[in-house]
């Protein structure tokens, strides 16, 4: 059990502690905050949140506030001293932060040699579209909320969102560029066999 020693926080425990400290109080609230603010770079589902909350309580990093007035069944949590400390330890541990990236579209591109140029182009288009759709969603739903909340929550959440937007812009741009290159090659190929150039301006070798 990963919290027996209390010195290592599970991935999900980190978000939970952080969000609790930042103002959330219930499992439900943690989940909605994740959805609205961190899901791009850090997700969590109910199936993790509620069990982890009780593990954290068992480890003494979190305590449940007495239910008080509300008739509705609802458990509000708060960090304990130890929880506060564990969170701060993680935030300042100085260990190189891990990041993980998994991209099915890129995997399909990697295997492009098994497809026709037209099929590759279809996939590239789908990747570009995905990036653009995510970007549109970010701008429409997340960005306004971040601007609005910046006063109480500080600048950092918006900064993280800015990163997300910049990343998706990069992604959309990259795929758009590749798309144009492949389209041009398809047109050339139809008109007659000429020299094709790689997407970065470097000469390409055809398979």
Partner DNA sequence: TATAGCATGTAATTAGTTACATGATTAA
Partner DNA sequence: TTAATCATGTAACTAATTACATGCTATA
Binding residues vs DNA (CB under 7 A): 1-2, 10-12, 26-29, 31-32, 43-48, 50-51, 53, 70-76, 102
Q: What's the DSSP call for residue 88?
A: H
Q: To 5 degrees, how large is the angle CA 36–CA 106–CA 165?
A: 30
User: How many angstroms separate the CA atoms of 145 and 142, rounded?
Assistant: 5
CB 28 within 8 A of CB 70: no
CB 24 within 8 A of CB 33: yes
CB of 79 to a copy of itself, least distance (A): 10
CB environment 165-201: b (16+ within 10 A), e (fewer): bebbeebbeebbebbebbeebeeeeeeeeeebeeeee
Of the two residues 46 and 156, which places its CB atom closer to a copy of itself in the complex? Answer: 156
Closest CA to 174 of 205, 135, 141: 135
Of the two residues 42 and 174, which places its CB atom closer to DNA in the complex? Answer: 42
Of the two residues 106 and 196, which places its CB atom closer to DNA in the complex? Answer: 106
Q: Name the one residue in this structure whose structure tokens are 């239910």.
A: 67
CB of 184 to a copy of itself, least distance (A): 14
Of the two residues 3 and 33, which places its CB atom closer to a copy of itself in the complex? Answer: 33
If one asks whether residue 122 binds a copy of itself (CB under 8 A), the answer comes out as yes
If one asks whether residue 148 binds a copy of itself (CB under 8 A), the answer comes out as no
Stretch that binds a copy of itself, among 46-54, 66-74, 135-143, 149-157 (CB under 8 A): 149-157
Residues that bind a copy of itself (CB under 8 A): 11, 14-15, 18, 21-22, 37-38, 40-43, 87-88, 91-92, 94-115, 119-120, 122-123, 126-127, 129-130, 150-151, 153-157, 159-160, 162-163, 166-167, 170-171, 174, 178, 198-200, 204-207
């Amino acid at each position: 059990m990963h919290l027996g020693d209390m010195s290592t926080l599970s991935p999900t425990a980190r978000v939970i502690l952080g969000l609790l400290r930042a103002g959330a109080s219930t499992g439900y609230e943690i989940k909605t905050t994740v959805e609205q603010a961190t899901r791009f770079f850090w997700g969590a589902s109910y199936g993790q949140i509620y069990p982890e909350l009780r593990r954290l309580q068992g480890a003494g990093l979190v305590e449940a506030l007495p239910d008080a007035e509300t008739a509705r069944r609802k458990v509000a949590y708060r960090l304990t001293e130890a929880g506060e400390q564990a969170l701060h330890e993680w935030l300042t541990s100085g260990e190189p932060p891990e990041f993980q990236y998994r991209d099915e579209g890129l995997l399909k591109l990697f295997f492009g040699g098994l497809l026709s140029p037209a099929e590759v182009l279809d996939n590239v288009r789908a990747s570009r579209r995905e990036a653009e759709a995510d970007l549109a969603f970010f701008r429409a739903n997340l960005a306004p909320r971040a601007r609005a909340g910046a006063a109480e929550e500080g600048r950092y959440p918006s900064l993280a969102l800015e990163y997300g937007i910049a990343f998706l812009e990069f992604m959309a741009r990259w795929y758009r560029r590749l798309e144009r290159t492949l389209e041009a090659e398809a047109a050339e190929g139809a008109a007659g066999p000429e020299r094709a150039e790689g997407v970065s301006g470097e000469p390409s070798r055809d398979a």
